[in-house]
Amino acid sequence: MNSGDTAWILVSTALVMLMTPGVALFYGGMVRKKNLISTLMMSFAVLALVSILWVVFGYTLAFGPDIAGFVGGLDFLGLKDVGMEATSYSIPDLLYMMFQGVFAVITVALITGAVVERIKFSTLMVFAVAWLALIYGPVAHWVWGGGWLAQLGALDFAGGTVVHINAGVSAAALVVLLGARKGLGREPMEPNNIPMVMLGAALLWFGWFGFNAGSSLGANGGAANAFVTTNTAAAAAALVWILLSWRTRKPTLLGAVTGAVAGLVAITPAAGFVSPMAAIAIGAVAAAVCYFAMNFKAKIGFDDSLDVMSVHGVGGIWGALATGIFANAAIGGVDGALAGNLGQLWNQIIAVGAVMAYSFIGTLAIGKILDKTMGLRVKELEEVVGLDLSQHGERAYGGIK
């Protein structure tokens, strides 16, 4: 065990934990006043729920002994044999488990952005249990737990496929089942608090240093490289988004912070494999592709409400492919297409395609079953009144006094 590494991963784990309340504020500011509590609650409840699920069965499904390349075995059920010693890395097994746990938490929280203002809270909670077991556990195992994509050599430094593509595509599947919010395109859906969105995005950016630089699993040069590429890509993407929105309208704060998140998403799989200069390119292109994806989504009337697919899905796909393009053996030990290793890009394409297909179909199936049994969407009247009152009996801002 190495105490320096352990200290850094303890801090990184705490940083990543803070990203989920960050997501809550990021999403919360963008919805209408009557759905603010509901939107915040989705992330916060997921933080509590998945924290428990992870230690009980999530960790073992992702990181238990490999079963046919598909899922982890149940050896670590209830954290059996996951102890204070360091057996696989230079940090305690328990700490590695917890670091991975906060990733699982935020992945589920990300999905909620697509279904705000209309999903039934109780059904969402049951969905989280099924989704963690059937989708997140296996996908994390494929990529990080020694499963088939890991064996193939697909790269995902900090979660481009496991977290972002997985969340984005699953969110899109839920939108297919749920449909659009009542009044979309006809009624104004003004964000209730853009400063809150910026606070949330800033917490995400800050937490992302733990997400990416922590994924080197040590206090070392790789962590430093990931730290620099993360900040650089976010900055490049924020600037490009500002320029893009300026081209047609005005530079908005909402756009600037969205650009930053798109850059952070795209650099995630690449952070430990590429140089800071490549990070500028990855961030800049991420802003452009997410911007145009968002435009396209709006045009076809697909109510991925807070752009989980347009930012995390599309940004994650670009990031995973960019890893195969820009990877540099001098940094992360693997070369990408630009250094002549086309095979790496091919591996990335397989990983993207497999995760997209599995999460979309799997989530569609889980969602369909829940829709038939519990009901996925709130009643029309409840939606009109707002989910704060109809689901939680609470409102964000008090009345007189």
Partner 1 sequence: MKKIEAIIREERLDAVKKALEEMGLIGMTVTEVSGRGQQKGIPLQWRVGEYRVDFLPKLKVEIVCHGDDCGAAVEAIMKAAKTGRIGDGKIFVLPVESAHRIRTGETGQAVI
Residue 32 φ/ψ, nearest 5 degrees: -75, 155
Shortest distance, position 242 Cβ to partner 1, whole Å = 12
Shortest distance, position 188 Cβ to partner 1, whole Å = 5
Shortest distance, position 310 Cβ to partner 1, whole Å = 9
For partner 1, the closer of residues 188 and 398 by Cβ is 188
Q: Cα–Cα distance between 384 and 32 in angstroms, integer?
A: 11
Shortest distance, position 267 Cβ to partner 1, whole Å = 20
Residue 386: CB atoms within 10 A of its CB come to 22
For partner 1, the closer of residues 17 and 294 by Cβ is 294
For partner 1, the closer of residues 178 and 287 by Cβ is 287
Site for partner 1, rule CB under 8 A:
188-191, 245, 249-250, 252, 254-255, 258, 291, 294-295, 298, 307
Residue 183: CB atoms within 10 A of its CB come to 12
For partner 1, the closer of residues 252 and 341 by Cβ is 252
Residue 82 φ/ψ, nearest 5 degrees: -100, 105
For partner 1, the closer of residues 229 and 258 by Cβ is 258
Shortest distance, position 50 Cβ to partner 1, whole Å = 27
Asked if 170 contacts 364 with a C-beta cutoff of 8 angstroms, the reply is no
Q: Is 389 helix (H, G, I), strand (E, B) or coil?
A: helix
Shortest distance, position 33 Cβ to partner 1, whole Å = 13
For partner 1, the closer of residues 191 and 276 by Cβ is 191
- Length of the chain, please? 401
3-state secondary structure 310-344: HHHHHHHHHHHHHHHHHCCHHHHCCCCHHHCCHHH
Which residue is it, tokens 């995630």?
A: 268
Residue 119 φ/ψ, nearest 5 degrees: -85, 145
For partner 1, the closer of residues 255 and 313 by Cβ is 255
Buried b (16+ CB within 10 A) or exposed e, 214-248: bbbbbbeebbebbbbbbbbbbbbbbbbbbbbbeee
Shortest distance, position 359 Cβ to partner 1, whole Å = 24
Label residue 340 exposed, middle or buried (CB < 10 Å: 0-12, 13-18, 19+): exposed
Shortest distance, position 258 Cβ to partner 1, whole Å = 5
For partner 1, the closer of residues 210 and 283 by Cβ is 283
Alpha-carbon separation of residue 115 from 2, 60, 140, 300 (angstroms)? 43, 29, 23, 17
